[in-house]
Chains A and B, each alone.
Chain A
């Protein structure tokens, strides 16, 4: 158990967060990068940015676009959703910030691509 600010972080929860991050995640980008907000952004800014990106990428807003572009917007929107799921929850955000600060953020990982499944998935948090 690690204490960061006012939030206690349990190791198993960090594992779960890292699991979330492996979800179709572009590992070059942190949730902050995906939402185009600064590391210290307020919750209000994060939310308004999320709404702004939703207006741009949500499948219901891209109906008139060609199919290929729509698919791409959809992929982007999944990333936005995942990023917002982390940053809108104070606890998850603190945990993620902790991961970033201690430089154990997932660098590379197996994704759902079948090619990577050939090898053993790496244990991130090998105890």
Chain B
């Protein structure tokens, strides 16, 4: 994917950010000022991939610690914007018409080319077009969302008079390519791998889409960790001295723009164990902006001469974001937003914001209760509550959370800027995966766990039988024996060899309708009284390997090879994993041949 990479311009504002960087110990070389003495091998970088911001964090072997990597404007955060402007200014500077621009450069084009500037697409990753959330996002997004041939949601961009479709993961790939090139320029060595933070509630499909984006961006390997786990790692390196050999349990809560992450993490001297995690994807601090926006629209509709254009909605949306941020510290704020029909001045109080978002806070607390139950953890055993992410600044939310934990204190990061906690955690994890052996930072381990249960369809009851429970530590492995049930109606002619069809699902309920179908596997059964052994292996990268053993045939199927067949498109599916799928037409022809169902031997 070609990306326009403007040459790094050393600017006068350099050092502005560094002055506020609490981790900086002076005198100290900047992360890009000298070529680090790297050991050979793979080099990873930590990427805090948020909905609105991107931060890069890498291990610096000379400083023996992690540092945030500045972008070409010398900023340590890059807005997640990708634009495809057909502008004469860019063409003159030698840029090809289809090359995207990224970051602040792209943000600049938002109001000039609103239909060709994409932002906040992270919540679209892995969604079906028919999902009710897509219609909701479309209402507040200036770019157009369309359906691709696999029924997934795509962003339609018009350039050179032609429409081009970008999957959300393509846009992520553009952003990650920018991140990689940026890091390579700043660190002066090639980057081969990445640790990317994703919402804890991401399904396997969404994780695979993100991994695919990383592959497209030139990373050979991508490890995905949840935002909450990353913040917990940062806490482990930031916390005050703790008696060794006593495991400390923390609740890590991360409220991003479009996700809530929550995890209970046990922190030993050197081991971080994710005991339980839960999340809400597609719901986050950006919903507050939408509520404010709706409030403004309602307010403006009372003034009869006002007509709102789509650009006005965009201005109101970004105005709402500013007001929301200001109200985290101020009690009330007066703000003026420029609209096409003139200036719109309003005064907003924190009280009114809290009334508008009353149920928002309730929904934020749901995952907290969930993880406490799942980790079988008493509230008094939680020693600290670690809050991270932009949304966790709401005073009301902090009050609600601290009232849940009597006697426990909300932890405020001492050494690390709390906005950067997630990126810092990803950076530390990347140092570990790079194989660095620095005594003060890399002698630790993160034991992550499964986000959703995996199970197979029990056709006798049409429910899902869970084989690997959620929050099982990774890598995980399980084996079951299946007994095929012979068909009840006797075959009219000589039946073909019977085929067992096994459907693998991801999800936490027993109802197959609410779970994600990951794969449909089939295997021939030589004689009907034979049993089938099914093993599921999930490795640390959450690659699912299914092994079916029926008599002499052994079949290994990697389930999470991208693209996945989740939207019941058998064509796509077969390309992904290469197993036989018994289609509807085929099934009719061999009514007597297929086994009626599978019984799980318990």
**Contact call B445/A112, Cβ cutoff below 8 A:** no
> Which residues of chain B are within 8 angstroms of A121 by Cβ–Cβ distance?
481, 531, 601
Which residues of A are found within 8 Å of B602, using beta-carbon distances? 12, 15-16, 19
Partner of B475, one of A20, A47, A81, A114: A81
Contact with A along B461-484 (1 / 0, CB 8 A): 000000000001101111111000
How far in angstroms is the closest Cβ of chain B from A84? 8
Q: In the complex, how many residues of chain A place their beta carbon closer than 8 angstroms to a beta carbon of chain B? A: 34
Q: Which residue of chain A has the shortest Cβ distance to B473 in the bound complex?
A: A81
Interface centre among B41, B433, B478 (most CB of A within 10 A): B478
User: In the bound complex, do residue A74 and residue B549 qualify as a contact, i.e. CB atoms below 8 Å apart?
Assistant: no
Of B477, B479, B552, which contacts A114 at CB under 8 A? B552
| A118 to chain B: closest residue by CB | B551
Task: Tell whether B446 is near chain A: CB-to-CB under 8 Å.
Answer: yes
A23, closest chain B residue (CB): B479
List chain A residues, Cβ under 8 A from B273: 51
Contact A55 B271 (CB under 8 A): yes
User: Contact: B547 with A63, CB < 8 Å?
Assistant: no
| Chain A residues with CB under 8 A of B247 | 47
Cα-based distance from A118 to B529 in the complex (angstroms): 11
Question: Interface code A88-127, partner B: CB below 8 Å = 1, 0 otherwise?
Answer: 0000000000000000000000111010011011000000
Q: A60-B445, A117-B550 are known contacts. Are A22 and B479 too (CB-CB below 8 A)?
A: yes
Q: Which of B445, B476, B533, B547 contacts A61 (CB 8 A)?
A: B445
Q: Give the residues in chain B near A78, CB-CB below 8 Å.
A: 475, 477
Q: Which residues of B contact A110 (CB under 8 A)?
A: 481, 533
Which of B270, B477, B550: most chain A Cβ within 10 A?
B477
- Give the CA-CA distance A44 to B602 in the complex, in Å: 31
Chain B 510-539 per-residue mask, 1 if CB under 8 angstroms from chain A, else 0: 000000000000000000011101010001
The answer to whether B268 touches A48, judged by C-beta atoms less than 8 angstroms apart, is: yes
Contact B445 A23 (CB under 8 A): no
In the complex, per-residue mask of A1-40: 1 if CB is within 8 Å of any chain B CB, else 0:
0000000000010011001101110000000000000000
Q: Mark B546-571, 1 if CB is under 8 A from A, else 0.
A: 01011110100000000000000000
Chain B residue with the shortest CB-CB distance to A89: B376
Within the complex, the shortest CB–CB distance from B98 to chain A, in Å, comes to 39
User: With A16-B602, A48-B245, A64-B435 as given contacts, are A117 and B551 in contact (CB-CB < 8 Å)?
Assistant: yes
**In whole Å, how far is B432's beta carbon from the nearest beta carbon of chain A?**
6
Q: How far is the CA of A105 from the CA of B250 in the complex (A)?
A: 38
Q: Is the CB of B535 within 8 A of A112?
A: yes
Report B-chain residues with C-beta under 8 Å of the C-beta of A81. Answer: 473, 475-477
- Residues 49-87 of A at the B interface (beta carbon under 8 Å): 51, 54-55, 58-61, 63-64, 74, 77-78, 81-82, 84-85
B445 CB contacts on chain A under 8 angstroms:
54-55, 58, 60-61
Interfacial residues of chain B within 552-602, with CB under 8 A of chain A in the complex: 552, 554, 601-602
Q: How far is the CA of A40 from the CA of B239 in the complex (A)?
A: 34
Q: Does B447 touch A at the CB level, under 8 Å?
A: yes
User: Closest CB of chain A to B436's CB: distance in Å?
Assistant: 10
Tell me how far the C-beta of B454 lies from the nearest C-beta in chain A, rounded to whole angstroms: 14
Q: Which of chain B's residues has its CB closest to A84's CB?
A: B473
Question: Residue among A12, A22, A51 with the most chain B CB within 10 A?
Answer: A51
Select one of A58, A59, A77, A114 contacting B549, CB under 8 A.
Answer: A114
Verify if B540 is at the interface (C-beta below 8 Å from A). Answer: yes
For A23, the chain B residues whose CB sits under 8 A away are 477-479
| Cα–Cα, bound, A15→B600 (Å) | 13
A76 → B minimal CB distance (Å): 11
A112 interface neighbour in B245, B271, B530, B533, Cβ under 8 Å: B533
A84 to B449, CA, bound (A): 14
Known: A12-B602, A51-B271. A117 touches B475 (CB 8 A): no
Query: Closest CB of chain B to A38's CB: distance in Å?
Result: 18
Q: Name the residue of chain A whose CB is nearest to the CB of B447.
A: A54
Residues on B with C-beta less than 8 A from A61 are 445
Residue of A nearest to B480 (CB): A19
Hey, which chain B residues are within 8 Å of A117, CB to CB? 530-531, 533, 549-551
Q: B433 is contacted by which of A19, A60, A111, A118 (Cβ under 8 Å)?
A: A60
Q: How far is the CB of A34 from chain B (nearest CB, A)?
A: 14
What residues on B are CB-neighbors of A54 within 8 Å? 271, 445, 447
Which residues, 426 to 449 on B, are CB-close (under 8 Å) to A?
Answer: 432-433, 435, 445-447
Bound state CA distance, A85 and B549, in angstroms?
A: 25
Q: Please name 20 further chain A to chain B contacts, defined as beta carbons within 8 Å, in addition to the given A20-B478, A54-B271, A120-B529, sorted by A numbering.
A: A23-B477, A23-B478, A48-B268, A55-B270, A55-B271, A60-B540, A61-B445, A64-B435, A77-B475, A81-B473, A81-B476, A85-B472, A85-B473, A117-B530, A117-B550, A117-B551, A120-B531, A121-B481, A121-B531, A121-B601
Name 21 A/B residue pairs within 8 A (Cβ), A-sorted: A15-B602, A19-B480, A55-B271, A58-B447, A58-B540, A59-B475, A60-B432, A60-B433, A63-B435, A78-B475, A84-B473, A85-B472, A85-B473, A110-B481, A111-B479, A112-B547, A112-B549, A114-B551, A114-B552, A121-B531, A121-B601
